[in-house]
Structure formats: C-alpha cells, structure tokens
C-alpha cells in the first residue's frame, strides 16, 4: 500500500508533537481519570462532563494533531482534522446540550468489552508500544487519534439507552483509515484500533436495537 510519507517522517511527527505539546499528555490522563471517576461514581453532572471531555479530546485531535502536525506530511489529514472537529461538536451537542448520552458501567458483554478498550487505550497501548521499540517521544500517546479512538469506543459501549448512530461514523472511519498506515509501518499496538471499531459498532448496534 502506498503512503505519502515514510515511516521516519511518521515517527518524527510524533516526536515533534509530543515534545511541543508537553505537558498536555499529563492533562489528558487526568481528564481520562475524571471520566472514569464520573462513570463509576455517577454524579448528577457526570454525563455532561464526560461528554464535554470527549468533545475536547476530539476537537484537540482535529485542530492540533491532524491540522498542525499530521497534515504537513499527509494531506488527507486536512479532511480528518475537520471531521474530528465535527465529531467533537457532536459530543458537545448530543452529550452536553441535548443530554442524549448517559454513561454507566454494567457487568454485561458491552460493559466488559468497553472496559478492555478503555484500559487498552489508556495503559496497555503505550506499554505494548514500549516493548516493541516505540519509545517516547517517538510513539503515539494518549490524546492522539488511535489510542483515543479506542478509549472513545470503550466509553460508547457504556452508554444507555440508545445513542445517535451518527456519532459512530467518524470513529469507525478512523478505525479503518488509522489502522492501515499504522499497521503498514509496524505500529502493532494499533491492532485493536480496527477491532474496536468493528466490535464496538456491532455491539452498540445490537444494544440499541
């Protein structure tokens, strides 16, 4: 498969991004911790705050990662940057304004698969990457599209009742597009990106029937 950039350019892009935006990576983990706390403690304001944090993640990935860092070596990232920003706006609209997203953990197949995805995106993804030679700052960190999309699918598996299906489109699209380049360059930690997209959508679709 042809890519408009080399593996060296791809990994150097992560190096530049991680160096330039530090310490935002710490903020992203703190926000993810807030999300998990609110899912399991279930405060009155939990759903709005969780949706707002997801909106921030997706707007950040679109505006900063895609448009500022990835687009100079991959012109399709201009399109994905816009799509990611739209995804963030959808989380804001459906979750914060319309209150159509409610997050809670349940001990069923969706809850358990969602937990695996959330923990993989946050913890196992960078650990796996480290052991196959992807050392910070030359590695995808939480807050960039691939691990954050896996994390997002995990959270969407914790939603109830039915969610607007349009909110699945951009994450599913990225699970296909993002995994091709990453796997083509040996970013093996992204194996679960494609799996999370397919399994996540199938389970959410079944749950929402």
Confidence of residue 10 (pLDDT cuts 50, 70, 90): very high
pLDDT above 80 (res 181): no
pLDDT by residue (tens digit) across 28-71? Answer: 999 999 999 999 998 999 999 999 999 999 999 999 999 999 99
**pTM of the predicted model over 0.95:** yes
Q: How far apart are the first and last CA of the chain?
A: 37
Residue 208 confidence (pLDDT): 85
The HSE-up count of residue 179 (CA atoms within 13 Å, CB side) is 18
pLDDT by residue (tens digit) across 149-171? Answer: 999 999 999 998 889 999 999 99
pLDDT by residue (tens digit) across 99-143? Answer: 999 999 999 999 999 999 999 999 999 999 999 999 999 999 999
Q: What residues contact residue 178 under an 8 Å CB cut-off, 6+ apart?
A: 145, 146, 149, 190, 193
pLDDT by residue (tens digit) across 64-79? Answer: 999 999 999 999 999 9
What whole-number distance in Å separates Cα of residue 136 and Cα of residue 145?
16
What whole-number distance in Å separates Cα of residue 57 and Cα of residue 11?
21
Q: Counting beta carbons within 10 angstroms of the beta carbon of residue 192, is it exposed (0 to 12), middle (13 to 18) or buried (19 or more)?
A: buried
Residue 54 confidence (pLDDT): 99
DSSP sequence for 37-71: HHHHH--TTHHHHHHHHHHHHHHHIIIIIIIIIIT
How many residues are recorded in the chain?
A: 209
Classify residue 99 as left (phi > 0), alpha (psi -120 to 50) or beta. left
């Amino acid at each position: 498969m042809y890519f408009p950039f080399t593996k060296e350019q791809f990994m150097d892009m992560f190096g530049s991004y991680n160096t330039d935006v530090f310490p935002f990576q710490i903020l992203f983990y703190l926000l993810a911790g807030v999300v998990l706390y609110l899912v399991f403690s279930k405060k009155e304001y939990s759903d709005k705050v969780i949706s707002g944090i997801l909106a921030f993640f997706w707007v950040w990935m679109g505006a900063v990662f895609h448009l500022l860092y990835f687009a100079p070596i991959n012109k399709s990232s201009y399109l994905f940057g816009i799509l990611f920003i739209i995804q963030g706006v959808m989380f804001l609209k459906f979750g914060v304004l319309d209150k159509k997203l409610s997050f809670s953990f349940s001990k069923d197949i969706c809850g358990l698969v969602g937990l695996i995805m959330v923990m993989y995106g946050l913890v196992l993804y960078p650990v796996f990457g480290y052991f196959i030679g992807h050392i910070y700052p030359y590695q995808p960190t939480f807050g960039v599209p691939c691990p954050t999309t896996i994390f997002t699918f995990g959270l969407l598996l914790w939603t109830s009742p039915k969610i607007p299906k349009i909110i699945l489109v951009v994450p599913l699209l990225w699970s296909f597009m993002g995994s091709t380049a990453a796997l083509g360059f040996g970013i093996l930690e992204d194996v679960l990106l494609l799996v999370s997209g397919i399994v996540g959508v199938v389970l959410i679709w079944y749950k929402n029937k």
